[in-house]
Amino acid sequence: MKSPRLPKIEEEFEKLKETVLSGDNFFLAPHLNPDGDAIGSMLAFYSLLKRLGKKVFLFSQDPIPSNLFFLDGIKKIKRVLPSRIPKNCTAVLFECSVPKRAGDIEKFLAECSKVVNIDHHKTAQLYGDINILDGSSSSTAEIIYRFFYDIKLKINKNEAACLYTGIVTDTGRFHFPATSPRTHEIAALLLQEKFDFSKINDIIYATKPYPSLKLLGRALESLKLLNKGKIAVMTLKLSDFKEFSARAEHTENIINYAMMIPGVKACVLFKEEETRVTATFRSKDEMDVSKVASFFGGGGHKNASGCKLPLPWETAEEKVISRLLEIFK
């Protein structure tokens, strides 16, 4: 089967330009559990539309991560859909591979006159009337930067901060392989707008609430290596969460620490909850941890997956670890 021909981005850019210039009403939404790139790109695009005198409704079904609250325009984002849909409204979705990735908005979208789909992921579907899909970009923010250039609107300081945030978060600070010479060229141009990029890095990468650090400490205290150092195991008990008044969000990123140990090929973090245990897996290279997750009814990808077990933690650990050892055989 021939793969569907992806739209040429120039043609689609031209269509978007026409739509932006001729339209009056716009609805913008990021994907569920929105990240810095979806939000940063959406807010920069929002600012562009406002500068052109458009009416814009900003929506996010899921809450915005608190470390993005510094972004200009963030408070305009509503968690509920508009009560009434204006005539000739164009919906623009940011990083939604399918429309429902933006939430329960399919009925709403059906009443919009046009849907625009903007994404840099190669898995994106062609569901929009306009599809701006570019797998060669490190981030959606890079695509939006190019749109500013295309529509000949000089980026301002706040827009630059939004797009920089998108780039820096989606490239893991210019670290991931999708970072290209163009990514750095765009960063260079954005920095000319003199926003405080160093403070943005401070907020996103050098700020950790006390409960996060205490949970990290407890998880590392529990860290043990199995199978000649190829498997790392960490456990957080319900009592740990209670001791530090910590919530699930405070465990973010903890699992990645175990993957930093030279020789570790797979790791699992167990989190004890009231009536079950959540197991989160990471792995490297060919080690497929999604097999373990799916065996226990969970899911995910080869190198990142998870499952929930309605068991006491000792039993859950025993079962999961013995399954994990299997994939190393």
Task: Please identify, among the stretches 123-131, 134-142, 197-205, 302-310, the one whose residues bind its own copies according to the rule CB under 8 A.
Answer: 197-205
Nearer to its own copies, 78 or 199 (CB): 199
Residues 248-287, interacting with its own copies (CB under 8 A): 256-262
C-alpha 210, offset from chain centre: 24
Q: Which residue among 216, 231, 246, 327 contacts its own copies (CB under 8 A)?
A: 216
Cα distance between residue 28 and residue 96, in whole Å: 12
Asked if 181 touches its own copies (CB under 8 A), the answer is: yes
C-alpha 164, offset from chain centre: 15
Asked if 295 touches its own copies (CB under 8 A), the answer is: no
Q: Which residue among 5, 8, 154, 188 contacts its own copies (CB under 8 A)?
A: 188
Cα distance between residue 178 and residue 196, in whole Å: 24
Burial grade of 123 (CB within 10 A; 0-12, 13-18, 19 or more): exposed
Nearer to its own copies, 88 or 192 (CB): 192
Q: Is 266 helix (H, G, I), strand (E, B) or coil?
A: strand
Residues 46-105, interacting with its own copies (CB under 8 A): none
Asked if 304 touches its own copies (CB under 8 A), the answer is: no
Q: Which residue among 33, 88, 136, 192 contacts its own copies (CB under 8 A)?
A: 192
Asked if 207 touches its own copies (CB under 8 A), the answer is: yes
Compute the least distance from the CB of residue 192 to its own copies, in Å. 5
CB 31 within 8 A of CB 102: yes
Cα distance between residue 4 and residue 216, in whole Å: 45
Q: Which residue among 55, 208, 247, 301 contacts its own copies (CB under 8 A)?
A: 208
Q: Is 125 helix (H, G, I), strand (E, B) or coil?
A: coil
Cα–Cα distances (Å) from 257 to 173, 254, 264, in that order, read 17, 6, 11
24 in the Ramachandran plot: left (φ > 0), alpha (ψ -120 to 50) or beta?
alpha
Q: Which residue among 3, 83, 123, 198 contacts its own copies (CB under 8 A)?
A: 198
CB 232 within 8 A of CB 264: yes
Compute the least distance from the CB of residue 26 to its own copies, in Å. 31
CB 47 within 8 A of CB 20: no
Nearer to its own copies, 205 or 328 (CB): 205
Nearer to its own copies, 258 or 287 (CB): 258
Q: Which residue among 20, 49, 71, 219 contacts its own copies (CB under 8 A)?
A: 219
Asked if 24 touches its own copies (CB under 8 A), the answer is: no
Strand-pair category, 277-283 with 299-300: unpaired
In the numeric block, the tokens 């500013």 are attached to: 148
Residues 116-175, interacting with its own copies (CB under 8 A): 172-175
Q: Which residue among 180, 227, 294, 303 contacts its own copies (CB under 8 A)?
A: 180
Asked if 328 touches its own copies (CB under 8 A), the answer is: no
CB 47 within 8 A of CB 159: yes
Residues within the interface to its own copies (CB under 8 A): 172-177, 179-185, 187-189, 191-192, 197-198, 201-202, 205-210, 213-214, 216-221, 223, 225, 229, 256-262
